[in-house]
Structure 1
């Protein structure tokens, strides 16, 4: 009712995308709790959260996994970390992905591509996504065969669990290289939500925590942060219009 009053004129996402994020973010709050959402620590790419040096070793990745497990309240003993390269097939799935989640009778397995190990931000983002699978599928809150949006929902869950800075910042990763007299630039896309969708989701997260101007916003890449600000303005305008109804 009255949707015509606040048609999506402020956002960089479609009405369909906005409606889905609203619905599924509300579902996450109902599933995991609003009080828990407000208590969750937003993880930052700082030495406070990641005090150890990183060189891509197995021990380094295991340490990051422990940190992300603690943040997302996943018992570390539930999951086994494994690695694959670009010539590997895991359960018939081509290894072009950055990570994979699999549930066996004994353990939940998280597979990481060796291709991303040199990028700690990508490692954190991928582990966050795969651990969100553990929260959703591993805890039987959804079934991938019945919930066709489960991959997008998994990305959205990383926002709920305080890992959204990493997953949103890694949607696009630019890299530069030099070799002798030659240089190049490469851009890689990851994730299932777009930067604009992540920005709107992070706006919902901020507002649900009563943090419309949270300090952690500055750690978002500029395009994501712009979408977050759009989302907060949109929601504020919508609330004001509701208040003005007779």
Structure 2
């Protein structure tokens, strides 16, 4: 039989997810509001492709994501991060364990200005870019709740990931959770598959 009869999660993780879903339902309109939400899909019916590149393309997609949350994109400063370090230094030199920039970040200044940054390397990957923007937009929504998520502040990132699904963007998160890509590294003479 191909069907599993038990959860793929361990008991503690399953209990936390159920508690977190309850927490999200309590603070974001309950089951009635959840039923009214759309499942946001990676199709042209939901997202018009950008004719631009770089920051203009990122802004284009960010505006569409913000609209699905019912939030004015102008409330945020959208800022590209600095380019990541290129680990290939030369034909025989590759920097091992080079630091990698996060896909995105969210911050609030003392004056209340909200900033979302994104890694420019993901702009040509709209699925990952949209997943990143949905995640970062969820941060201020969750911070607006006076009650901490189940498990406290150390579980905020996990609660934010779950909120992405709650607000309709779960397919983007699941489709970008891991990706396999073929690579060829001329500096080291290697080729194969990489996992990200």
Q: Please confirm whether the aligned pair reaches a TM-score higher than 0.5, indicating the same fold.
A: yes
Instruction: Structure 1: state its 5+ residue gaps.
Output: 1-7, 88-93, 189-246
Instruction: Structure 2: state its 5+ residue gaps.
Output: 86-98
Partner of 1:224: none
Give the deviation of 1:22 after TM superposition. 0.3
Partner of 2:6: 10
- State whether residues 74 and 135 of structure 1, in contact with CA within 8 Å, keep that contact through their aligned partners in structure 2: no
Partner of 1:96: 101
Partner of 1:29: 25
> In structure 2, what is the Cα distance between the partners aligned to 1:98 and 1:142?
27
Greater percentage in helix: 1
The alignment status of 1:71 with 2:68, answered yes or no, reads yes
Give the deviation of 1:53 after TM superposition. 3.9
Give the deviation of 1:154 after TM superposition. 0.2
> In structure 2, what is the Cα distance between the partners aligned to 1:117 and 1:46?
17
Give the deviation of 1:179 after TM superposition. 7.1
Q: Cα gap change, 1:161/1:20 in structure 2, threshold over 3 Å: closer, same or farther? A: same
> In structure 2, what is the Cα distance between the partners aligned to 1:176 and 1:11?
32
> In structure 1, what is the Cα distance between the partners aligned to 2:67 and 2:120?
23
Aligned length: 173
Please report the RMSD computed on the Cα atoms of aligned residues, expressed in angstroms. 2.4
Partner of 1:174: 180
Partner of 2:88: none
Counterparts of 1:99-138 in structure 2, within 5 Å, are: 99-104=104-109, 105-137=111-143
The alignment status of 1:165 with 2:183, answered yes or no, reads no
Q: Which runs of 4+ in 1 moved over 6 A?
A: 179-182
Please, what TM-score do these two structures have when normalized by structure 2? 0.78
Give the deviation of 1:84 after TM superposition. 0.8
